[in-house]
Structure 1
Amino acid sequence: MVSTKDNSTLLKNNSLRRLMVARVSTNFAYQMLTIAIGWQMYSLTKSAFYLGLVGLVQFLPMLFLSLFVGHASDRYDRRKIITLSQTIQSLFILILAFGSFSGWITKERFLLIIFLIAVAHSFEGPPMQALLPNIVSREVFPRASALMSSVSEFAVIVGPAVGGILYSFGPTLIYALVGTLYLTSGTLISQISIKKEEFKPEPASIKSLFAGISFIKSKPIILGAISLDLFAVLFGGATALLPIYASSILMIGSFGLGVLRSAPAIGALLMSAYLAKNPLKHNVGKTMFTAVIFFGISTIVFALSKSVIISFLALFVLGASDVISVVIRSTLVQLETPDNMRGRVSSVNMIFIGTSNQLGEFESGTTAALFGTVNAAFIGGIGTIIVVLLWMKLFPSILHVDKFQTSKP
């Protein structure tokens, strides 16, 4: 067991503390932004399909830009890229605040601004993922990753509830606060000191641009881990339908939506705090598969529930199981990747994550429009479990992963 003293020693790292506060700020902001965007779009359109379009316009920039961002992350200062990205996101979010206040927001303009925010956001993910290994040693990385997840999930818990409350006063206040938090995060990131491994950057070429894909293809464990997340969450994206559940099925309003949004984060916070104190030492691969199966089961329970309490508990389990998968996947990817490749590998990972999250929202919204909200969520949960069983056959090497690799690849 890892003691609390061990975590206190980690927190003496000033750069790690700045990164943690920055991540808390952006997670808090992003959760409020998600609440406001989802509720405002549903208020404007009363359409599950348009909720799905929100996910699609967030996914497309990530799909087309992530490889270029990853290439840049391995050649230039990752801190500057993140800072610029978050500053631009803040600008467009403040424009959204002004548009909501002045009343000229339509569904078309709304989607356009969300798209521009997503373009800026696509420059944040790969360098942010690659930053932690430049701050802490390989030996403590699994614990640092779990600790980072733990403090980040605190913001994910508070953010939706605060967003739900603030939305009762209209979206303008939320957007103004979110824009300020993104500026704060960018400032903190710019002040981080990093220990980047010395290497000679590859000449810019098509080959180096796609090197992240080639590297992942050569590593079945990494390919299996991130593709599992892609397809499992793609089918299990029931959280995209929460505005409909809160408004039309559970009848709990915008504050209730915030509470439901907080449920996965509460489960994730408690689980990540546990993992920070008790890092996984054995049966890493089997644990990841088991966690994703529980993700699918909890999605099914949520889909069929007509009770707020049962829905909350199902989402709680969903969040707890998801964070186990996230910590294992991120640790496997970062520890098995050399520093001069982390930006490009992280960019491919971000495409997979974006596909599972944003494209998953589009899939859920489209399926709900075709088959109904409850049926869409139920089918998604079943699909997640089928994917896990299939991946256990396709990537047996993951089942045999017992420990994390703490020596250099």
Structure 2
Amino acid sequence: MTSSPANFTAQPTSPLQIADYRRFLVARFASVFATNGMVIVLGYQLYDHARTHYGMSISEAAFQLGLLGLAQFLPLFLLTPVAGVVADRFDRRLVTGLALLLDLSIALTLAIMTQAGISSLPVLFLLGALHGTARVFIGPASSSIAPNVVPAALMPRAVAVNSIAWQIGSVAGPSLAGVLFAVERSLPYWVSVVFLAVAALNALRIRPLPPPPGNRDIHPLRQISDGLSFVWNDRFLLGCVTLDLFAVLLGGATALLPVYARDILTWNGHPVGSYGLGVMRAMPGLGAALVALVLARKPITDDVGVKMLLAVALFGAATIGFGLSRSFPLSLLMLATLGGGDMISVFIRNTLVQLHTPDAVRGRVSSISGLAISASNELGEMQSGVTAALLGATGAVVFGGVGAIVVTALWAVWFPELRRVKTFAAKYN
């Protein structure tokens, strides 16, 4: 006996068969493409503006890049608790769409100002801070959409597709932005406006997502405090989170890429410029994507703790290699290598954190881990800029790479729980 067509609804076998997921995926790719391109061009424009219009030395202009990182970190630090509460109490696709529209207005302002030639350092810092504010609200809201529109059985495939979209956007965005900036300085911002409009439209076209019930009677500060206490009292989790925080904070070579593109690296006797900057900024993502493909075919299964520590050390060694290199092809290879090392570390660490954390506090621990990662990136930019003002760009990058290796060695001693981990399935004390 066959089922009546009127009473039978085929269940999706792929997340791509779900219209709301397709809209989410388009929004994710378009936003990553736009923001990664916009950020790298903003840094180059600020550095070039400081050198050309303010007459700053290389060290002084590099310090401005550090201040830009600080300007983008402060909203993250101050508003992350608020953004988490907003994502849990309001329609997540609406929060995502409105935050994307805010980012769109920032890109539009940058496009108009750049085309009119009226940029200034204070305005660029302000727009960088506003961009950081938009990112704070986009992150937790958008990352929570997929589980609301995709059945649990299809979530692993959805996560894999999400990662592919993110990696493609993070590689293609900076590469194209660097080329477009060399053609016309305002052009990459106009492209970001278009892609952010596409992202916002697709996010808002997702069906309404009512906020999840529960926990509304608990004060947000109490929730944050409970999560911090749990991580602080669990040495394994504390080691995982702080390893990334300090290693990436010290090894932030990408913050100084504008210096290398404009004043250090050459190709055929000329500075590689904004085009070379876009290619350099894309290489860590390319290295990470290639390693992700390898891990998908042959996952790491044994001695995961030692391999995580070695991957962070590789990240530091490749950072040193990039800092010392004066060959553009070798510099690209070093950037791809550090991206690959970081991918291995992130893959192992994120998996271990998820498996080691009880479900009741997994959300809060994930938010703390996410804040540590973001803090390491943004504060790493500030640290690199400040160090470059004292040691020069090369000295700052090499110092950071050495620091990442030293942190790895110290964490292997201070947190033996990390190097003792053998498999993902083990239970740790």
Following TM superposition, by how much is the alpha carbon of 1:253 offset from its aligned partner in structure 2, in angstroms? Answer: 1.3
Aligned: 1:66 with 2:80: yes
Shift of 1:180: 2.4
Greater relative contact order: 1 or 2 (C-alpha under 8 angstroms, separation 6 or more)? 1
Match of 1:258 in 2: 278
Is the 8 Å Cα contact of residues 92 and 211 (structure 2) preserved in structure 1? no
Shift of 1:328: 2.8
Offset at 1:392? 1.8
User: Which of 329, 344, 352 is residue 324 of structure 1 equivalent to?
Assistant: 344
Name the structure 2 match of 1:43: 48
Q: Distance in 2 between matches of 1:339 and 1:199?
A: 17
Q: Is the 8 A contact 1:20 1:152 kept in 2?
A: no
Alpha-carbon deviation of 1:365? 0.9
Matches within 5 A, 1:276-355: 276-334=296-354, 341=361, 344-355=364-375
Match of 1:93 in 2: 107
- Could you list the per-position Cα deviations for residues 160-191 of structure 1 after superposition, in whole angstroms to 9, with x for gaps in the alignment? 22111110233322112212222322333345
Q: Percent identity of the aligned residues?
A: 39
Does residue 242 of structure 1 match 2:257?
Answer: yes
Deviation at 1:84, TM superposition (A): 1.9
What secondary structure sits across from 1:201 in the alignment?
A: coil
In the other structure, the counterpart of 1:389 is: 409
How far has the Cα of 1:211 moved from its partner? 3.1
Is 1:78 matched up with 2:98? no
RMSD over aligned CA atoms reads 2.9
The number of equivalent residue pairs is 400
Aligned to 2:7: none
Confirm or deny that 1:29 pairs with 2:34.
Answer: yes
Deviation for aligned residue 1:16: 4.6
Amino acid of the structure 2 residue aligned with 1:36: V
Superimposed CA distance per residue, residues 249-284 of structure 1 (whole angstroms, 9 cap, x where no aligned partner): 112111111111121121111111222333443333
Distance 1:367 1:163, change over 3 A: same
Provide Cα deviations, 1:15-45, integer angstroms capped at 9, x if missing partner. Answer: 5544433322122112211221012111110
SS in 1 for 2:301: coil
* Conserved? CA contact 1:304–1:374, under 8 Å: yes
Residue correspondence of structure 1 range 181-260 to structure 2 within 5 A = 181-192=195-206, 200-205=214-219, 206-250=221-265, 251-260=271-280
Instruction: Please say which of residues 334-343 and 33-42 is displaced more in the overlay.
Output: 334-343
Q: Is the 8 A contact 2:91 2:208 kept in 1?
A: no
Amino acid at match of 1:153: Q
Larger Rg: 2
TM-score by length of 2: 0.84
Give the drift of 1:108: 0.8
C-alpha separation in 2, matches of 1:401 and 1:138: 28
1:365-384 maps to which residues of 2 (within 5 A)?
365-384=385-404
Shift of the 274–112 alpha-carbon distance from structure 1 to 2, 3 Å rule, reads: same
| TM-score for the superposition, normalised by structure 1 | 0.87
Find the aligned partners of 1:298 and 1:142 in 2 and give their Cα distance: 31
Runs of at least 5 residues in structure 1 that lack an aligned partner in the other structure: 1-7
Tell me how far 1:215 sits from its aligned partner: 3.4
Change (3 A) 1:209 1:114: same
Matched residues in 2 for 1:331 and 1:13: separation?
Answer: 27
